[in-house]
Chains A and B, each alone.
Chain A
């Protein structure tokens, strides 16, 4: 389920004829770390959590972690696609707030179906606006989505200027409210939705021409353009997918939280990008792993769960999350910054034992 492009594998693979066993071991270790490192970290964290706290592995807490990870994971899967494509979206927090409000308002007007439709269409509309800004109006994605973060949050504030949008307690048995609370077996429905979404995104990237174009554009925009890939369409697709993901994520989020306004999920974009980057996506584009993102989402949620359970203050939680992101990015940054030098070093070493 890992998505890697030719450019990346060429960067790490040594020349087959000249590699020695120890080098191969070292590089395989590097690749294994790339692919499974974050999952290993997750396992370690879970073990530590279980040792620290006996209720950590209780069914209720595991269910709560899985449910909590759903909305983060769904958006993080789409963000991974965006980062593979060489772009990203800072407005997902604003989208989540706005679409949550729209969905709740939709429920108030027309019940479950309208709420679902409002979420999905609202998400797609947000994504479409971002896509239009980035492609037709040529606004750089970073600033376009930063600006739209404030616009989306602002609109959500306006819609809830009297009071936050809420779901009344009497609606607890409605189909809408059950979306967030249903258990299938003992697995929460939101987690299943997240798994299905990851699977769908994986198939999209691997098995569809459009998905391959998204990846190809990310590894080399110029090459992709010369082979006839339309930058406009690819970017529209990516931002549309992000919007759709937010729409689906809202259905797993707001049906549990029941209330939203413009300030909902402040800093969400950072958690999403953290998950994608921890999962191995490189902000230089062309590289990212859905398996990694999946593990990273669980890692972030477990970490949050542990911090909350041990009464760490909100400010300190922020610091931990930011620190984790900086460390993950630094590893990626240092590796790319010094990759050329390392490769040259290996090449020289290989050359030495074979004179003539």
Chain B
């Protein structure tokens, strides 16, 4: 009985697809992450051989923590890219929310209030992006490019371009606490991954996001609340950016208007490397997690090998472009389809 109920899609008409569509989507999403395993294994083996101290327990835990911090924003970005859109403002959101949280704590508010303030600010930034994109019809990445600059400017004005240094036990716990023996960021990433898999593959909202991503006009004509879905996804990204900002600030014990520069590239890179199609309609949650791991391992290994940070940016940029080229060539995409600014 229960399997029957699960397999029957409640909101879609019968001709929309075979009954087990949700399961096959989850399967396809997971399968598209498989090509990631060989490069991941390769990188791990290479660093194990050449990078000193890579295979020590502490270092592996560091890798895990560093990767898991990108997982939460990566998952939100996965939904956004599944919808065929992008959010470039997430790095600036990191700076603003981290700064707000730290300033609240410094000014003597309780940590709970400070955390809520950070999350609310992130949510508001996200809703603002969503409104501009959905209601004013501005092309998503240009709208978020502009809001990236606005929010970044706001963060700098808010902090008066100075670091906000805090020392707070709860904040420290968020960065380095170990509930159940697992570092908090890792636990958060695991929970977020499970939640994202449920939302993307098992809920009406997840199907709506994929539907908007495969064909927005069709979704609109079949009566889906397209605008609301889009606003909700941008709101989620704002919230994820706030989580990211709070954890990064907790790690550094400070908020700063310059935090998170270039983070938008990381968030997009983990999704794209993970195999979520830029053309929309197909989410790969596990892929995003593996993508975060791959980038985390590369960052860590290059650090251990004393490679300057400039090379790391270059390598992530190239990896992103290479992953996309493989994706596009494999699917034989015609050139016209790639005009992502048509939407």
Q: Please give the residue numbers on chain A whose beta carbons come within 8 Å of chain B beta carbons, in ascending order.
A: 86-88, 90, 133-135, 137-144, 146-151, 153-155, 157-158, 161, 221-222, 225, 231-232, 235, 262, 267, 269-270, 273-274, 277, 283-285, 313-323, 325-326, 329-330, 332-334, 336-337
Contact = CB atoms under 8 A, between A and B. Distances in A.
A158 B310 contact: yes
B336 A330 contact: no
Given A148-B321, A231-B336, A326-B138, A319 B157 contact: yes
The 8 closest A-B pairs by CB, nearest first: A315-B156, A318-B153, A333-B137, A337-B137, A138-B328, A322-B150, A154-B314, A319-B153
A315 B139 contact: no
Contacts of B342: 86, 284-285
B199 interface: no
B154 interface: yes
Contacts of A270: 145-146, 149
B175 interface: no
B46 interface: no
Given A137-B328, A322-B147, A333-B139, A158 B341 contact: no
B257 to A, nearest CB: 7
A274 B149 CA distance: 12
Nearest to A142: B340
6 contacts: A86-B339, A153-B313, A235-B335, A273-B145, A318-B156, A329-B138
Interface residues of B, number: 51
Contacts of B205: none
Given A284-B341, A284-B342, A333-B136, A143 B314 contact: no
A137 B146 contact: no
B18 interface: no
B311 interface: yes
A161 B340 contact: no
A275 to B, nearest CB: 13
Given A150-B265, A157-B308, A325-B142, 16 more contacts: A133-B321, A140-B324, A140-B328, A143-B321, A147-B321, A150-B313, A157-B309, A157-B310, A158-B310, A221-B339, A319-B149, A321-B149, A329-B132, A329-B136, A329-B139, A330-B132
B153 A273 contact: no
A264 B310 CA distance: 14
B141 interface: yes
B324 A144 contact: yes
Given A231-B335, A333-B139, A318 B310 contact: no
Contacts of A134: 338
A90 B317 CA distance: 13
A150 B262 contact: yes
